[in-house]
Structure formats: structure tokens, C-alpha cells
Structure 1
Amino acid sequence: MHKRTTQKMDKAGQMRTDNIYENADAIRGEITMEIEDLNTTRIQPPQQTVSDCVKIRNYRAAVVCLVLLCVLLLTAVIVLCFTFTQEISKNENLTNVRNQLILKNTNLTNERDQLILKNTNLTSERDQLILKNTNLTNERDQLILKSTNLTNERDQLLLKNTNLTNEREQLLLKNTNLTSERDQLILKNTNLTNQRDQLILKSTNLTNDRDQLILRSTNLTNERNQLLPKNTNLTSERDQLILKSTNLTNERNQLKQENNDLQRRLGKVDGWIYHQCSYYYISNETKNWYDNRRYCTERGADLIIINNLEEQEFVRNISGYVDVWIGLTNSNLEGRWKWVDNSTLTSGFWGYGKPYSYYEDCAVSYISWWHAYSCNSALKWICET
């Protein structure tokens, strides 16, 4: 539309210019004719009448009017030229404005295309992120399910390990009893053999009692023969029990190795850390001693009991440089510190001059030392199971 307006303005300006040039040519022709008439009149001889004088005056008046008219026409031409120049300048300005608008429109079109492309890319990235989030959620659910299955397998293995340990102890006890019986039978057999030898010697010396001794010796021989198969059977059973015990020991060691491998693979499950056949949990929040113990007992555990220096070093490593509650208190009887399993503290890792306060009835571990704190203080804690 702007282009059409500009074209119309160009055509109108061109028509005005053509009209100005045509009017100027016409006026120039009329002025030339009038000047020729005046020259002709001046050249004629001075034989003029009154009417001729009147005509001359009329001509002069006409010439003056024509001159004035020419001046007006020239002024009009100058005004029209000035107007035309302004129109041309205005037209050039409008052309520049149109070009700028076209350029700006082109830039805006390019920006729009870039924004559309960017929006398309962002939409694709959003869809990819949604898909990735869905995949991560599925993987998390699978890991939770796998963790639950591994926990159940761990419990089953622990139960099976306990049963095998009990069976092993029963077999060891039975093996010990059989060994004792075997030793007694061997001793008895040895005694009988000695008695037999004595009876043979006595039979040689006592001819009268020979028949009785022979009979008794025969009985003893029969008993011996009966004991020998029985002894052989016991020996075979003993060997079988030893073999079975060896197999059970190997199976126990293999199960223990598999259990340790499984526990190492478990690593950390739901924040629990496996260490030295126990699981430990260190909190990320702070509570008082009683709430902490309730938190542990609700999960089948209790506040940690530190039995040796190695376990104290382990607590230091997982707690860092913060105070953590441990399962030690003297709230029942002042000055008598007990663990949460009701066992009395025999030795510990108290800091210098600790404990000392009457109102500080619960213990915390800080780096490598213990301190007494008020049980209502909010600190982190460590559970153990």
C-alpha cells in the first residue's frame, strides 16, 4: 500500500511538472507575439490618428498586464518548483522511511523465524527432559524394588546362616559325644583284652577252672567280635561325620563369603552403611536424645553402642566434625552410665575432665572423644543394628 501511494505521488508530481512546462511555453509564445507587434508598431511612420493613440495606449496597458502576468506566472513557476522540490524531498524521505520499514520488517521476520526455531528447539528439549525424567523415575522405582528384594534375600540368608550355625553346633556336639563313646569302647575293649589275657594266664595256672575260663574266654571273644564290627561301624560313622562336618564347614565359609559379597554390593541402602557385620545410619537432621532413640527403635535398631577404638574411629569418619548422639546415658541413676542395651559402661573415650555436669545425662561423640550433654539438646544421631 505504501508503495502504491508513493507511485501515485510520483505520477502527480510528474503531471504537475509537465503542466508547468506547457504553461510556461504558452506564456513565452504570447509574450513573443506581443513584442513583435510592438516592434511593428514602432517601426510604422508617425501617421497616427487619435484612435491609433488609443490603440497604442491599450497595447501598452496590455503589455504591462502581460508583463505583470508573466511576473505572476514566473512567481507561480518558482513556487511550483519549490513545492515540487519539497515534494521530491518528501518523496525521498518517504522512500527512505519505506526502505527502513521494509528492512525493519525483514529483521522482525528473521527474528520471528529465529524465535519460532528457538521455541521448537525448547519444545524438543522439554519433551526430551520429560522423557528423561520418566525414565529416571522408572529406574528409581526399579532400584527401590531391587533394594527391597535384596533386603529380603539378606534376611533369608541371615536366617539360613543362623540355622546352619545351629546345625553345625549340634553336629559338633554329636561328633564330640560319638568320639567320647568311641574312646570309651576302645578303653573297654583294651580292658577286656587285658582281662582275656589274664584269664588265659589264669586258665593255664588253674586247671580246674579251665573249662569255666575257656567258656568265659569264648564269651569274651564273642563280645569282642561283636564289639569289633560295632567299633568298625562307629569308625565309619565317625569318618562320615568328619566328612559331613568338613562339607558343612566349607558350605558355611562359602555362604559367609557370599553374604559378605552381598553386603559389600549393598553398600549404602536408604542411608544405612554396612561396617563390620553391622548397619549404621547417620541422620541429616537434629533431634533430642529421646526422639533420636525412638527414631532408631521404630526401624528395628537403636542408638549406637561403641565397644572399641576401631568403632570409635569409624564413628569419627562418618560423623566428621559434628556432635552426634550415642546410646549412652545416666538418666536412671546419676553417675552410673549405661548403654541402651542396659549394659554398664566399663571403659570409654571421655574427654579430659568429662563427664562433670549434674544436668547433662546423655553422651555425644565429637571427633574422637565423648562429652555429656543435656538430653533435650537437638543434635544429629547414629543408629546401629
Structure 2
Amino acid sequence: MLKVLLVDDESWNRDIVRTFGLWDELGMEIAGEAEDGSEALRLAGELSPQIVITDMRMPGADGVKLMNQLHECYPEIKVIVVSGYDDFKYAQNAIRYGAVDYLLKPIDPGELNDVLRKCRKELEENSHAREPYALDIEVSFSLSSYKQLMRVHFNELNPEGVNAVLEGIEKELVQGGSGRPGMLRQAASEMLLLLKELMRSNALEEDVLKAEIPREVLMSGSSTAAYLKQLYGTSLEQLIGQRKFKNKLNLDEVRQYINAHFAEAVTLEGLARAFFVSKEYLSKVFKLEYGCNVTDYILQLRMEKAKEWLAEESIPIKTVAALAGYEDVGYFYRVFKKHYGVAPGEMRKQAAGLKMSNPKG
């Protein structure tokens, strides 16, 4: 079993990684946990982990210091960085010390396990004998908004939207990728990881993604973009054919789809496109079946999950908003207060008061 060390000063973050990881399936185990870099370095010496998953911002010895020391003392250890949007500049130097990959908060289960598989593969190939591949955090940051749009357009079976996203990426690669094969490889790898996630969530065969990225694909930004367009186009055609084959609308499938994607930009128009019906028909039959319209159903899901997450005091309200699908925290506050009659912070205080008055409950 490969040993994994989790490093984060917030226990709920460690809980998320511990819960989402397919440890048995990947042949891994969590050998230890640390709350700061100093403790992590001590445990690294005692436990000899092959993989370290570390947050960047921690009191005392933070992720940057930890990575510097791991790079000097244990260069064979594979490091996975966990970072929030606000930490990109802060994490940039640490990434250059050879991190295998990074995970953006809130952590996506599919991305976590894909990165763990990547670590296992590199360890099995004894890749530490080669020069480590250092990720460029700015590349990941520039791709993040494209990824969010791609999830929506792909799941809603929108070829025009998917193509528009890839054309936007192509412009970025053509402008910045000249003479930078590392940037092209990173962009291709990250977009292929996303495609694998999208294919799995839609029960599509992943054979098209099993081959290594051909060397000629990384010759230019245009060739990299063309490669991505081909793979995304083929996969989307497969999904469209799969959905069209079902000639009858299954409302339970629609509901399950919403439950899985409620934190994304799900719309009635997008759902109608994805299930090959008119939005008027979908709206009518959905309300007849569930007693509310699609928009209200999504809102109710988001608010219920937000209330549940607020009960955990260690999760910042900004993170709760992001998990529930709201990038604008101010807008989240307004929607939450309108729905429950109290602001998120007040709801959290009420939940804390109930815990104190009923500690055994």
C-alpha cells in the first residue's frame, strides 16, 4: 500500500479528502495527518509516505515552507497542492518545486482520484529518476473559468458552447504557448482530466482517453487545441446519440441530473436541450410531478445544502457559498436571507446555540 500524508490545519478539509479518496481501490492508505508544515516534516521522516497532500495556508510552517523542505530532504515524495482561488500568487513558488498537481477548493472527488492515480503511475514508473514536471499555476488559473463553462455546455449537449470554449483556450495557447511545450502539455492534461470526469458522470466509455498525448499534438497551440476539439467533439456526439436513443422523457433522470449538478449553472433551457424536449413541456411535466418548477427545485436544493454546511462552524461562509453554486458571496447572503428569513451568519449562530443547549444531541 502506498502511504499518504494529509496536511491541513482545518480538520474538515482533511475529512473531505479522507472521504472522497478511493483509497482501497488505488492501493493507498492514509498513514498520518498533520496540522502544519513542521509536524508534517516530522511525520514524513517517521512514516516515509510516498504522497503528501498539503494545503498552502497554515499557521506556523505553511505549505510553501513544507514544500521547500520536502524538496530538499525527500525529493522522491509526490506532493499534491490544495489551493483556493485567493492563494494562486501565494502558491506559485511552491508549485515550481515539482508538485505533481494541484486541487482547487472546494475539492472535486473526480479530480482528487485522477491526481492520485497520476501519482501512483509516476511512482510505478520510478519517475523521480527524471526531471520533475513543474506545473505553472497561472496556466491552471487561466483555465479555471473555461472549465466551469465547459462543464455546463457539455452536460447540456451544447456543441456551439463547447466549441466556443475550446476556441477561447486555443487563443490563450497560441498567444502564450509558443516555445513552451510544458504549458501546452499542462493545458492538454488538465482539459483531458476534465473530459474524463464529464464522460464518467454521463456513463460514457473512456477508451478514447487511454492513449498518451501524441508528441506532435504539443508542437503548437493550434495543434493542441485541434486535438482537444477532436476528443471533446467525439465524446459529445456519443452522449448526444445516447440521449437521443431514449425516445421518452424520464423525469427521474432529470431530477437525478439536477441533484448531481445543482451547484452548476443549471437552467431550464439547458435541461430541455440536454433531454431533447421543449422547455415549455419540461416545465409543465416537472411541476405536475414534483409540485414546483425547476428553478424553485434547484433553489431549494442549494439552500438545504447550504444550511447543512453552515452547521459545521469550521467551514467558512465563503466556501459554503461556493459549494452551493454562488460565486458572489453578497448575492448568496441575499438569497439565503430571503429564503430562510435570517442571514447565513445568524443561522450559524442559531445552530451553535442549539448544540450548546443540547450537547448530547
Shorter chain as normaliser: what TM range? under 0.3
**Higher relative CO (CA 8 A, sep ≥ 6), structure 1 or 2?**
1
More helix by share: 1
Larger radius of gyration: 1
**TM-score normalised per structure 2:** 0.19
